[in-house]
């Protein structure tokens, strides 16, 4: 089915607004971002911003959804190759740190703050987050193969591992210290999950 010219124009406008908003959020943070500046940078009227995104938070939700899908596709491709638990967890760290590197610390922290916010515009379940779903499945596979202890709860392990990564990235500025802490997080997780 072909997209109408009007729908295609609408999609291009939405993309321009999203791009302008990301630049503004990176500069100022979401709370201090100016919708007028975003609209001007996108070349649209102020009201057009709200036609496409009911709030600034909705811009971040769109960005989060896109990035989760991109990361999940990369993670899924990795999981098709030969891997073990340590390389799997290391890949997750690599994917998350790459996101933080591409977006910068301000926008990355904004995404995380919204992700964990009790006032998040859309209520969702953990199964709506493909990276967590893939990590949970991989931990369940490892448990089934006897690679990790049979009593390991895959969901809680995946969640706490990701929270640990986010915690390090949002609180530690020194690159050397961060890298060491992330490597230790992987080693500690693997050691704790193994069958003794």
Q: Tens of pLDDT along 164-173?
A: 999 999 999 9
Judged by DSSP in three states, 193 sits in helix
DSSP string, 47-111: HHHHHH-SSHHHHHHHHHHHHHHHHHHHHHHHHTSS--HHHHHHHHHHHHHHHHHHHHHHHHHHH
Token readout for 116 is 């964990």
What's the angle, vertex CA 185, arms to CA 68 and CA 126, rounded to 5?
A: 30
pLDDT at 162 over 90: yes
Look up the pTM and report it. 0.86
As a whole number of angstroms, the distance between CA 101 and CA 93 comes to 12
Domain ranges of the chain: 1-53, 55-193
According to the model, what pLDDT value does residue 123 have?
A: 60
Q: Facing residues of 148 across strands?
A: 194
Mean pLDDT (the chain, rounded): 91
- Count the alpha carbons within 13 Å of 67 in the hemisphere toward its beta carbon: 20
CATH topology of domain 1-53: Arc Repressor Mutant, subunit A (1.10.10)
Note the CATH architecture for domain 55-193: Orthogonal Bundle (1.10)
Q: Tens of pLDDT along 13-52?
A: 999 999 999 999 998 888 899 999 999 999 999 999 999 9
The H or E element containing residue 168 is helix 154-171
Q: Tens of pLDDT along 55-76?
A: 999 999 999 899 999 999 999 9
According to the model, what pLDDT value does residue 36 have?
A: 95
């Amino acid at each position: 089915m072909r997209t109408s010219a009007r729908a295609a124009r609408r999609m291009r406008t939405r993309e321009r607004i999203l791009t302008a908003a990301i630049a503004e959020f990176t500069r100022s943070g979401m709370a201090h971002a100016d919708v007028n500046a975003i609209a001007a940078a996108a070349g649209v009227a102020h009201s057009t911003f709200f036609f496409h995104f009911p709030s600034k938070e909705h811009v971040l939700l769109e960005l989060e959804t896109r990035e989760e899908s991109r990361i999940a596709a990369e993670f899924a491709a990795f999981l098709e190759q030969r891997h073990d638990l340590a390389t799997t967890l290391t890949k997750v760290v690599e994917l998350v740190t790459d996101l933080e590197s591409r977006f910068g610390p301000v926008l990355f922290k904004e995404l995380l703050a919204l992700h964990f916010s009790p006032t998040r515009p859309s209520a969702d379940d953990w199964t709506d987050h493909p990276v967590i779903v893939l990590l949970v499945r991989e931990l369940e596979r490892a448990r089934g193969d006897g690679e990790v202890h049979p009593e390991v709860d895959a969901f809680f392990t995946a969640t706490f591992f990701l929270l640990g990564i986010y915690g390090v990235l949002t609180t530690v500025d020194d690159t050397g210290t961060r890298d060491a802490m992330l490597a230790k997080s992987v080693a500690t997780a693997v050691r704790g999950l193994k069958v003794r």
